[in-house]
Structure 1
Amino acid sequence: MLLETLRLLECSLHSDRRCDREWLEGLLHPEFREITRSGLIVDRSETIACLLSEKTASPILSSDFRIIEMGRGCVILQYRTFYAEGRCPSLRSSYWVCSEEGQWTLIFHQGTPAADGS
């Protein structure tokens, strides 16, 4: 159940919800940081601004989800992504934390090009 919950939250970032400022501000932890696929380190406000400025985003497909529970309310989600046309395969890791109210927020994300190109 936890894996499915986090998979749905993560995949919602690959949908048109990524253009909804209020939703992004609720999903991304105030201390959110990301190491992008190209190696840049960005913070929450930079990430939100970038997502909101996207004109059209290629559909992102995801697979091979697994979680590593780090402790109570702290989980790493690992998975693979690629664009619908098959380009840019990536390995992804997201660190999710759960508030006392049961709200999951994303505090860290990293995307790395897949070494084997698949």
Structure 2
Amino acid sequence: MLLEKLMLLECSLHGEKRNDRNWLEHLLHPEFLEITRSGMMVDRSDTIMSLKSEKTSSPIISSNFRLIEISESCVILLYHTSDADGSRPALRSSYWLISKEGQWSLVFHQGTPIASGA
């Protein structure tokens, strides 16, 4: 099922492959952009450099995945994240595109903090 496949790809960026340059270059679309949780716009090379240099990161807990199919070749994945202790909750959205060869790549990602009391 497509939702499970994209969940696995998305969550691969939350674990050990987060620092793997080859994996990041494989998964992130050449035109990849991200609006970070802190509101900064970063491109593919900035993202790869940042993740490669990350020393430690607290485990990311992901839940409530929902898939919106825009067409056969592009989808939006929506979900929630938090640190393992429940802190730093955020809403996440990712735009995925499939190539002619059948490879999904991440084109856009945004993380938005969840307002307290929401």
TM range (shorter): over 0.9
1:117 deviates by 5.3
Whether contact under 8 Å (1:89, 1:117) holds in the other structure is no
In the alignment, what sits opposite 2:28?
A: 28
What is the CA deviation profile of residues 7-36 of structure 1, one whole-angstrom value per residue up to 9, with x for unaligned ones? Answer: 000000000101110110000000000000
Superposition pairs of residues 1-118 of structure 1, within 5 angstroms: 1-116=1-116
TM normalised by structure 2 equals 0.97
Root-mean-square deviation (CA), in Å?
1.0
What residue ranges of structure 2 are gaps of 5+ in the alignment? Answer: none
Paired residues in the alignment total 118
For the residue of structure 1 that corresponds to 2:101, the secondary structure is coil
* Equivalent AA in structure 2 for residue 7 of structure 1: M
Taking the aligned partners of 2:6 and 2:23, their CA distance within structure 1 comes to 15
What residue ranges of structure 1 are gaps of 5+ in the alignment? Answer: none
**Identity of counterpart residues, as a percentage?**
67
Would you identify which runs of 4 or more consecutive aligned residues in structure 1 move more than 4 Å? Answer: none
Taking the aligned partners of 2:77 and 2:116, their CA distance within structure 1 comes to 21
1:75 deviates by 0.2
For the residue of structure 2 that corresponds to 1:92, the secondary structure is strand
TM normalised by structure 1 equals 0.97
What is the CA deviation profile of residues 21-79 of structure 1, one whole-angstrom value per residue up to 9, with x for unaligned ones? Answer: 01100000000000000000000000000000000010000000000001121000000
Taking the aligned partners of 2:96 and 2:112, their CA distance within structure 1 comes to 18
